[in-house]
Amino acid sequence: MPTRILVVEDDPDIADLVARYLDKAGFVTERAANGRDALKAIAARPPDLLVLDLMLPQVDGLEVCRQARANAATAAIPIIMLTARAEESERIVGLELGADDYLAKPFSPNELVARVRALLRRIHRVAPAAKTLAYGPIALDTERHVVSAHGRDVTLTAKEFLLLEYLLLHPGRVLSRDLLLTDVWGYRYTGGTRTVDVHVRRLREKLPILADGLVTVKQFGYKLVDPTT
């Protein structure tokens, strides 16, 4: 089945441009022009990926993102956020609410397609030989894309899952923020390394053992230490 992408954008010219490039790339696009319609569409038939404008009528993009992440049925949908606001504070708010990626307007449609492909490629890539990766009470099922802690499921976004998987595959290794951006996000990310910090903070909040186990290496990156030490 072709990948379905919901484009939520109130500017018809931008919506047409995004949909045209995504359709040309082989995706199937659907559209919503406001946040209320987007929430209805997501609930009725969750898309495979969401391209979401921040400034929307009726319900803004941040609230759409928040509600999608709060629902177990839609919490793992990959979300790429679009906005005319280029300030870091706006970007961080979107990432804090669960956006996987961020593009500031004006943007290249080809870059958007590349980011969509990179995000989907990492979600659907061939899983490693081990079906389950473990860290203390954390278990990550690479085949089912399920994470649990102490036997209870924990809901992660697409990027949180991929970041945790990468950390579990490289225990004890100091990983720079640039390396994480390249290997987890799939390209030389232009949004700044705060993106990694936001995702790490969310992992620590959802999986408290990582508060001590995922160590910050000052001015460089992160290291996952042995949970028994």
Q: Given a cut of 90, is residue 228 above it in pLDDT?
A: no
132-224: CATH number:
1.10.10.10
Angle at 204 between CA 185 and CA 151, to 5 degrees: 105
User: pTM score, two decimals?
Assistant: 0.68
- The residue among 131 and 211 whose pLDDT is bigger is 211
Cα–Cα distance between 109 and 130 in angstroms, integer? 37
Question: Measured between alpha carbons, how far is residue 65 from residues 13, 112, 183 in Å?
Answer: 23, 18, 25
Domain with CATH 3.40.50.2300 in the chain: 4-123
Q: What are 80-114's pLDDT values in tens digits?
A: 999 876 566 667 777 778 888 888 888 899 999 99
Instruction: Band the pLDDT of 126: cuts 50, 70, 90.
Output: very low
Could you say which architecture CATH assigns to the domain 4-123?
3-Layer(aba) Sandwich (3.40)
Spacing of C-alpha 147 from chain mean position: 15
Domain with CATH 1.10.10.10 in the chain: 132-224
Q: What is the mean pLDDT of the chain?
A: 88
Cα–Cα distance between 16 and 75 in angstroms, integer? 27
Looking at the chain, the whole-number percentage of residues with pLDDT higher than 70 is 90
